[in-house]
Amino acid sequence: MRPTIKDLANAAGVSLATVDRVLNGRSGVREKTVKTVNDAIERIGFQRNQVAATLARQRGYRFVFALPRSGDEFLMEIIDRIAEFDSASRAEMIEADVIRIDDQDPHEAARNLSNLSAEDVDGVAIMAPETPQIRDALLRMRERGIQTIPLVADQQDDGEHGFVGIDNRAAGATAGRLMARFIGNKEGSVLVLTETTQARDSLERRLGFDGIINAEYPNLKVLPTLETYGDPDRTENILHNAIRTHSDILGIYFMGVEARIPLEKGRRAGVIRDRVTIAHERTPSTELALKNGELDAVIHQDPGHLVRSAIRILRAKCENRATLASQERIRIEVLILENL
Partner DNA sequence: AGCTAAATGAGGTGCGCACCTCAGATAACT
Partner DNA sequence: AGTTATCTGAGGTGCGCACCTCATTTAGCT
- Whether residue 300 contacts residue 247, with contact meaning beta carbons closer than 8 Å, is answered with no
| Strand bridging mode 123-126 / 188-194 | unpaired
Residues in the chain: 340
Work out what residue 144 binds among a copy of itself, DNA, none; the CB cut-off runs from 5 to 8 Å by kind: none
Q: Establish if 2 lies at the interface with a copy of itself (CB under 8 A).
A: yes
44 belongs to the binding site for a copy of itself (CB under 8 A)? no
Decide which of a copy of itself, DNA, none touches 170; Cβ closer than 5 to 8 Å per partner kind.
a copy of itself
Rounded to the nearest whole angstrom, what is the least distance from the CB of residue 8 to a copy of itself in the complex? Answer: 14
Adjacent-strand bridge partners of 273: none
Which of DNA, a copy of itself, none does residue 28 bind to, with CB < 5 to 8 Å depending on kind?
DNA
Radius of gyration for the alpha carbons in the chain, expressed in angstroms and rounded? 24
* C-alpha of 176 from chain center: 21
Per-position x/- string for 181-200, each x denoting binding to a copy of itself as judged by CB under 8 A, each - no binding = xx-xx---------------
Q: Is 3 in the site for a copy of itself (CB under 8 A)?
A: no
CB of 185 to a copy of itself, least distance (A): 8
Of the pair 28, 184, the CB lying nearest DNA is at: 28
In the complex, least distance from residue 91 CB atom to DNA, rounded to whole angstroms: 9
CA dist., res. 101 & res. 110, Å (int): 8
Does 210 help bind a copy of itself (rule: CB under 8 A)? no
Query: Residues 326, 327, 329, 334: what is their CA dihedral angle, to the nearest 10 degrees?
Result: 110
Q: Assess contact for 72 and 131: CB atoms under 8 A.
A: no
Q: Considering only residues 59, 140, 268, 321, which one is a binding residue for a copy of itself as defined by CB under 8 A?
A: 321
Helix (H, G, I), strand (E, B) or coil at 26: coil
| Partner in contact with 81, chosen from DNA, a copy of itself, none, beta carbon below 5 to 8 Å by kind | a copy of itself
For 144, which DSSP code?
A: T
Interacting residues with a copy of itself between 80 and 139 (CB under 8 A): 81, 84-85, 88, 90-93
For 320, phi then psi, to 5°, come to 60, 40
> Which helix (H) or strand (E) element contains residue 278?
strand 276-280
Q: Are 310 and 125 in contact (CB under 8 A)?
A: yes
Q: Does 165 bind a copy of itself (CB under 8 A)?
A: no
Residue type, 191: L
Residues in contact with a copy of itself by CB under 8 A are 2, 47-52, 54-55, 60, 81, 84-85, 88, 90-93, 170-171, 173-174, 176-178, 181-182, 184-185, 208, 212, 296, 302, 304, 308, 321, 324, 326-327, 331-339
